[in-house]
């Protein structure tokens, strides 16, 4: 997601992917760096080595599929894997910081699995992997490329999910609740509580105002976002509409269903609500 160099009052970042593919040559170095970091983490934390799929360029989706759901540079293998290593590692480190380990889990769900950029990095573990998504072509891609390892389901814009109560040890949703309308947010929180076992974990990403709203004035941010608690906009973009959750909204509304542990910021990225 990119900020515009200039924007009118009340303008905010757009999630619409660019039409043309762009690639920063630095991603090749990023890919090598983060693969080494992930490899060291798996060895130190679990005594495991990365799975071959975690460097398999055949799992990188083509540009036409990527353009429908995210920034087009994710169609380049270096960007796809480098960003995937980094983000997947963040979720694993957060679990470990709270005494949990995917290595000891039975069932894990990625809500909004997309084209497999993150869930691929759970292949080394024994857990049964599940993914769900509202985008039919993403589900089709997942079943064709990851069907032997990930059980993928197409879901609707509203609950329920096609899973039993208390099924999952861990559910994560990367850049999902940033695109769920305010009126549906609480229903989805309740649904995730239903499918997570007691003592299980949920981690979702939310907009970090210090990164995504840094060009909005203090006054406008307080009036239009903090005071509202949860604000959504760009509904004409369908599943690419935008939603902001304030810290107070997360702890007061989400806290009715789940115990909030931390909202952890990540450098130049969305924060993680644990």
- In the chain, the domains with their CATH numbers are 100-273 (3.40.50.150)
Q: State residue 108 phi and psi, 5-degree precision.
A: -130, 135
Report residue 257 as tokens.
Answer: 């269903």
Which positions of the chain have pLDDT values less than 70?
1-25
The answer to whether 193 and 161 have CB atoms below 8 angstroms apart is no
Q: What is the CA radius of gyration of the chain?
A: 18
The reported pLDDT for the residue numbered 9 is 36
The reported pLDDT for the residue numbered 34 is 97
Residue 40's alpha-carbon distances to 94, 99, 129, 140, 258, in angstroms, are: 16, 19, 23, 33, 32
Residue 270's alpha-carbon distances to 21, 64, 211, in angstroms, are: 22, 25, 8
Strand runs labelled E in the chain: 107-111, 128-133, 150-154, 168-173, 196-206, 230-233, 242-245, 263-264, 271-273
The reported pLDDT for the residue numbered 14 is 46
The reported pLDDT for the residue numbered 18 is 41
Residue partners of 248: CB distance under 8 A and separation at least 6: 226, 229
Report residue 197 as tokens.
Answer: 């076992």
Helix (H) / strand (E) element for 253: namely helix 247-253
The reported pLDDT for the residue numbered 63 is 92
The reported pLDDT for the residue numbered 66 is 86
The reported pLDDT for the residue numbered 25 is 62
Sheet with 263-264, edge to edge strand ranges:
150-154, 128-133, 107-111, 168-173, 196-206, 271-273, 263-264
Q: Nearest-CA neighbor of 28 among 83, 88, 90, 87?
A: 83
The reported pLDDT for the residue numbered 8 is 35
Q: Nearest-CA neighbor of 102 among 3, 171, 33?
A: 171
The reported pLDDT for the residue numbered 70 is 85
Half-sphere CA count of 109, side-chain side, radius 13 A: 25
The reported pLDDT for the residue numbered 6 is 30
């Amino acid at each position: 997601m990119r900020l515009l160099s200039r924007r009118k009052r009340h303008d905010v970042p757009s999630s619409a992917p660019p039409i043309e593919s762009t690639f920063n040559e630095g991603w090749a170095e990023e890919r090598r760096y983060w693969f080494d970091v992930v490899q060291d983490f798996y060895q130190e934390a679990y005594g495991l080595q990365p799975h071959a799929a975690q460097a398999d360029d055949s799992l990188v989706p083509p540009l036409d599929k990527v353009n429908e759901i995210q920034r087009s540079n994710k169609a380049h293998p270096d960007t796809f894997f480098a960003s995937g290593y980094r983000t997947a590692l963040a979720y694993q480190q957060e679990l470990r910081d709270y005494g949990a380990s995917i290595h000891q889990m039975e069932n894990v769900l990625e809500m909004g699995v997309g084209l497999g950029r993150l869930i691929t990095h759970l292949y080394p573990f024994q857990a049964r992997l599940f993914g769900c998504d509202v985008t039919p072509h993403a589900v089709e891609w997942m079943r064709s490329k990851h069907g032997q390892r990930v059980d993928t389901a197409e879901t609707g814009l509203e609950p329920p999910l096609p899973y039993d109560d208390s099924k999952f040890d861990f559910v994560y949703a990367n850049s999902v609740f940033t695109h769920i309308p305010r009126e549906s947010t609480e229903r989805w929180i309740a649904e995730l509580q239903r499918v997570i076992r007691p003592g299980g974990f949920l981690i979702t990403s939310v907009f970090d105002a210090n990164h995504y709203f840094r060009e909005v004035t203090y006054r406008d941010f307080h009036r239009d976002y903090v005071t509202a608690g949860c604000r959504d906009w760009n509904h004409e973009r369908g599943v690419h509409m935008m939603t902001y959750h304030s810290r107070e909204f997360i702890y007061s509304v989400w806290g009715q269903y789940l115990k909030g542990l931390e909202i952890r910021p990540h450098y130049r990225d969305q924060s993680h609500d644990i």
